[in-house]
Structure 1
Amino acid sequence: MVDKQPHLNGGYYGPAIPPAEQPRYRHNHGRSCCCCLFGIFWKILVTLVVLVGLAILIFWLVVQPRSFKFYVTEAELTQFEYDTNNNTLHYNMVLNFTARNPNKKLSIYYDKVEALAFYEDTRFANYDVITHINSFRQYKKSTNRMTAVFSGHKVVLLNNEQISELNQDKSEGVYDIYVKLYFRIRFRLGDVKSGDYKPKVKCHLKVPFSSNATVTLFQTTKCDVDF
């Protein structure tokens, strides 16, 4: 007589399942932690970006920073002759500038200004307008004068078309001269000074020859300021 074993609830009495076929239960705890940390990091990053943006907006609204305004107010050209025998340009030109600070809360330090003069896309002179010797601070809502003196001679290679343009300007008594200025400036708000900024200024000028009494006087020219 065969003894009957009691039935155990939940027990499995079938053939043994090989380990390779046994169900595997994956634990997603590590992945959940990574997702949670990434979400927290992303929220912090977005919050910081928003706060920085708000700080910049508030600063802009309160301070209202503006670029300086730059003009050529006077131009005197007493010599501008090109010797075709040795390709030498002899020149003598004086330019007076004004720089206007329109800001109500910012003053400007002009640490360095260099002016380059071009004719027919060819540079023929340069001049240090501002150096460490004559650098200055421009206060709020004020205007200051600067002067550039271009005098001397330089070997420049002008082609036939450029020489023809030069002769035409000479006959008309007005020369198309392009001046580019390189700045190194700093801003000051209260007792806080900014780092260096290096804007460029471009001036397209029509400069009358001073000894020609038939031409009109030089007209004040506003220059383009590019930060």
Structure 2
Amino acid sequence: MTDANQPHLNGAYYGPSVPPPQKSYRPGRGHGRGCLCCCGCFLLKLLIGLVIILGLAVLIFWLVVRPQPVKFHVIGASLTRFDHATSDNNLRYNLALNVTVRNPNKRLGVYYDRIEARAYYEDKRFSTVTLTPFYQGHKNTTTLNPLFEGQQLVVFDGEELRGFNAEKIAGVYSIDVEFRLRIRFKLGKAKTRRIKPKVKCDLKLPLSSSNGTTRASPGVFPITKCDFDF
């Protein structure tokens, strides 16, 4: 039905078709995820490359330098006193050691910036001495002579006291000596940072006379290799 006031409209008029709405671009969505993915892949490849280069550098360094730990051996000992009095719980001792320190490296020197020797019995420390710092060249052997003497309050429980008395009868004592080190390695003119390894020596020490020295020999005091622990 036509409108009487608009005679020129003869039927329905729909006009031109309306195009579908276009998707507006919003920065930071799909494009951002692609960028992050590319950046992540690049960083991962870079990290893998750095790890490979570092691994090759360490391998080449090891093949050229072939670093080895220093070696400690107790080659002689003199234990002239080791008494424990239950009246005052004081341990009285006199222990002298001959210890060789060997640097087996062909290209590395060693700075011993601090050497602290500690003596233990039944895991109880009874003496500490500090030795003179020194530098050790390539494939070199140095002898240390720590001396532990004096007295120290050491309280044993029942089992520990029975063990001490048994070793007193046998005349051989189980004493541990531990070296606390601060060392640096030298390669050419370059020096590493300080590291703090420990060296532990488990000793079986016979009691000797006041003027006798127990040197390393079969059946008396065997040469004892110490454990080096980084």
TM-score of the superposed pair, with normalisation by structure 2: 0.84
User: 1:56, CA displacement in angstroms?
Assistant: 1.0
Q: Per-residue displacement from partner, 1:106-144 (whole Å, max 9, x unpaired)?
A: 111111111111111211111112xxxx32111111111
C-alpha distance in 1 between matches for 2:38 and 2:121: 65
Query: Residue deviations 1:38-67, cap 9 Å, x none?
Result: 222221121111111111111111111110
Instruction: Provide the residue aligned with 2:110 in structure 1.
Output: 108
Of 75-84 and 22-31, more deviation after overlay is shown by 22-31
Where has structure 1 moved over 4 Å in runs of 4 or more?
A: 1-4, 22-27
Give the aligned residue type for 1:77. L
Residues in 1 aligned to 2:224 and 2:17: alpha-carbon distance in whole angstroms: 99
Determine which of 89, 98, 101 is the counterpart of 2:100.
98
Structure showing greater radius of gyration is 2
| Residue identity in the other structure for 2:142 | N
In the aligned structure 2, how far is the partner of 1:206 from the partner of 1:77?
10
Residues 5-24 of structure 1: CA deviation (Å, up to 9, x unaligned): xxx9xx625xx98xxxx674
Tell me the TM-score normalized by structure 1: 0.85
User: Hey, what's the Cα distance between the residues in 2 that align with 1:80 and 1:195?
Assistant: 40
- What does the per-residue CA deviation read over 1:74-95, in whole Å, with 9 as the maximum and x for residues that have no partner? 1100011111111111100001
The one-letter code matched in structure 1 to 2:91 is L
Structure 2: unaligned runs, 5 residues or longer: 1-7
Task: Name 1:12's counterpart in structure 2.
Answer: 17
Aligned-residue offset at 1:29? 2.2
Report the residue type matching 2:145 in the other structure: T
* Partner residue in 1 for 2:225: 222
**Secondary structure of the structure 1 residue equivalent to 2:174:** strand
The 5-angstrom pairing of residues 3-152 of structure 1 reads 12=17, 24=23, 28-129=30-131, 134-152=132-150
In 2, the alpha carbon distance for the partners of 1:187 and 1:58 equals 18
Deviation of residue 31 (structure 1)?
Answer: 2.1
Q: Which residue pairs with 2:187 in the alignment? A: 189
Distance 1:224 1:185 in 2: 16
Identity of aligned residues (%): 44
